[in-house]
């Protein structure tokens, strides 16, 4: 067995409440460390709040988010944490996920497929990042990989998905990098709608089956800017089924969904799946 304790955070954030947003994130990091969580994932754009709208076009917003990231980074000892924030890079704004470990930023994933329907207008503020492209960015005193990344540390191969990348037909189902990951995490800001919970369950279960991996889905909770309601649904998928879920609409600042996973199960599943595929290809030759 190769056990890893993971957690998904649902969190109630307020746009531009810099001190409050960072405190709520910090409180959950401390709580996760007390529970001996090793990998903790927060939702999309959790540092700023998702509904900053046209203020995402302000470099000041990205600058303040980086200050928040610096505070969060310094809390991350003996834990790996993913948080969402906007980052200004080479003249464009990107919707990003930062991966932090032991007070160091391992990398920044930039969202590749933007949400552009219903209540979402991401192309108005953000630029999509190209698939399979990696750049370097200097931030908070270190040079950091930036773009379409996956991560190897310890015995884990970790993949990152940001919300719409999982929902879109252009998305990640055929991504070979994700297919080799034992754990895929999804940072989301998915608003409540009737019937949407069932759709999310299907998405998470199907993704965990497609990747033959553990799949951790996180979401915001609460009412942002008086316009959009988030239900805080957090899910863990394992090889085609939902293994654990958090209660929706929890009336608190944030909560954790914790589960121990055995990475060896993902490795065995991938080997079996590859063997079946190889045999199928051979029989068709």
Residue 115, phi then psi, degrees to nearest 5: -80, 130
What's the confidence (pLDDT) of residue 226?
A: 67
What's the confidence (pLDDT) of residue 83?
A: 99
What's the confidence (pLDDT) of residue 282?
A: 46
What's the confidence (pLDDT) of residue 224?
A: 74
What's the confidence (pLDDT) of residue 284?
A: 47
Helices 18-34 + 59-73 axis angle, to 10: 30
What's the confidence (pLDDT) of residue 115?
A: 84
Residues 6+ apart with CB under 8 A from 261: 3, 4, 5, 6, 183, 214, 236, 238
Q: Could you tell me which of 189, 194, 217 has the C-alpha nearest to residue 204?
A: 217
What's the confidence (pLDDT) of residue 221?
A: 94
Do the bridges between strand 92-101 and strand 39-41 make them parallel or antiparallel, or are there none, so unpaired? unpaired
Residues 99, 160 contacting (CB under 8 angstroms): yes
In the chain, domain spans: 3-283
Give the CATH number of domain 3-283.
Answer: 3.60.110.10
- Tens-digit pLDDT string for the chain (285 aa): 899 999 999 999 999 999 999 999 999 999 999 999 999 999 999 999 999 999 999 999 999 999 999 999 999 999 999 999 999 999 999 999 999 999 999 999 999 999 887 677 899 999 999 999 999 999 999 999 999 999 999 999 999 999 878 766 665 555 667 889 999 999 999 888 888 899 999 999 999 999 999 999 999 999 876 678 898 899 999 999 999 999 898 878 999 999 999 999 999 999 988 754 454 444 444
> Model pTM?
0.93
Q: Could you tell me which of 71, 67, 158 has the C-alpha nearest to residue 107?
A: 158
């Amino acid at each position: 067995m190769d056990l890893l304790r993971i957690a998904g955070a649902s969190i109630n954030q307020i746009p531009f409440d810099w001190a409050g947003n960072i405190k709520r994130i910090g409180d959950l990091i401390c709580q996760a460390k007390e529970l001996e969580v090793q990998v903790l994932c927060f939702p999309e754009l959790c540092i700023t709040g998702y509904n900053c709208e046209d203020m995402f076009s302000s470099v000041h917003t990205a600058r303040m988010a980086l200050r928040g990231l610096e505070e969060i980074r310094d809390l991350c000892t003996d834990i790996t944490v993913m948080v969402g924030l906007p980052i200004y890079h080479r003249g464009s704004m990107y919707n990003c996920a930062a991966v932090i470990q032991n007070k160091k930023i391992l990398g920044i994933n930039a969202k590749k497929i933007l949400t552009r329907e219903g209540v979402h207008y991401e192309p108005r503020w953000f630029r999509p990042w190209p698939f399979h492209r990696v750049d370097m960015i200097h931030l908070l005193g270190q040079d950091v990989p930036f773009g379409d990344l996956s991560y190897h540390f310890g015995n884990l191969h970790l993949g990152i998905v940001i919300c719409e990348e999982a929902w879109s037909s252009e998305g990640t189902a055929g991504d070979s990098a994700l297919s080799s990951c034992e754990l895929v995490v999804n940072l989301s800001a998915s608003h409540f709608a009737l019937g949407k919970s069932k759709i999310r369950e299907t998405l998470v279960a199907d993704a965990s089956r497609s990747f033959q991996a553990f799949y951790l889905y996180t979401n915001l909770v609460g009412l942002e800017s008086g316009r959009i309601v988030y239900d805080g649904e957090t899910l863990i998928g394992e090889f085609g089924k939902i293994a654990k879920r958090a209660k929706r609409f929890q009336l608190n600042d944030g909560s954790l969904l914790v589960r121990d996973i055995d990475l060896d199960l993902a490795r065995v599943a991938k080997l079996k799946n590859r063997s079946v595929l190889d045999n199928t290809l051979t029989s068709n030759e």
